[in-house]
Chains A and B, each alone.
Chain A
Amino acid sequence: DQQVKQNSPSLSVQEGRISILNCDYTNSMFDYFLWYKKYPAEGPTFLISISSIKDKNEDGRFTVFLNKSAKHLSLHIVPSQPGDSAVYFCAATQTGANNLFFGTGTRLTVIP
């Protein structure tokens, strides 16, 4: 039973435009969310995170938005660059828990 879902397996965006990657979760106990990026033949690397006490967190070109009532979060990349082409995973956990639940991933392709 997938507790974290990324319903778009892939997304293509023109260079310079905004990329929006979406993630939904079902467990209302989740209170901390992370995004990881994965290039081919490499392990995932951390990108950005957000706590449920916030509804937005920004780091350079990357912004994560959290809508707790909808159990939805999104990652915005502005402007998108070809080097952003990768698979993006969202992940969720809860305070006091030691396990992490990942979504199925979205493959982003930024077209030059």
Chain B
Amino acid sequence: EAQVTQNPRYLITVTGKKLTVTCSQNMNHEYMSWYRQDPGLGLRQIYYSMNVEVTDKGDVPEGYKVSRKEKRNFPLILESPSPNQTSLYFCASSLSGYRGAKNIQYFGAGTRLSVL
């Protein structure tokens, strides 16, 4: 089954404790992206990747890191989480990079993160 898988689905952590949210897709997609969803703000793009070893900042990249060492994986790293990063996070992927964000994106089920 074609899917985007995020882990964990729920995470409670404390300020400053490094964490990684994993994202994996099995569709051989080139483009992958991370979003956060907050009340009243909708979905905001954090980082995206056009292909292996090619990443770029989205709208709200501060406090986050990403890497794209393999085509299927695009982990989101919070080196020193803070309470304002408490949010619902979504990973997404799409087929080809050349059409950029016009491509249909397939989303994971989300990771709910609470930073205390």
Give chain A's interface residues, CB within 8 Å of chain B.
2, 4, 6, 32, 34, 36, 41-46, 49, 89, 91, 93, 95-105
Contacts and interface: CB of A to CB of B under 8 A. Distances in A.
Contacts of B59: 99, 101
A41 B43 contact: no
Contacts of B90: 43-44
A95 B44 CA distance: 19
B104 interface: yes
A36 B109 CA distance: 14
Contact of B48 (A44, A99, A102, A103): A99
A46 B4 CA distance: 14
B42 A105 contact: yes
Nearest to A102: B43
A49 B104 CA distance: 9
A98 B48 contact: yes
B100 interface: yes
B60 to A, nearest CB: 11
7 contacts: A41-B110, A49-B104, A95-B100, A96-B100, A99-B59, A100-B33, A101-B45
Given A41-B109, A41-B110, A93-B102, A98 B56 contact: yes
B101 A99 contact: yes
Given A43-B90, A43-B109, A46-B104, A98 B31 contact: yes
Query: Which 8 pairs from chain A and chain B are nearest by CB?
Result: A43-B107, A93-B101, A104-B42, A100-B101, A102-B43, A98-B100, A46-B104, A102-B42
A102 B44 contact: yes
A98 B101 contact: yes
B50 A104 contact: no
B81 interface: no
Contacts of B97: 98
A25 to B, nearest CB: 13
Nearest to A1: B59
A96 B102 CA distance: 9
Contacts of B44: 102
Nearest to B31: A98
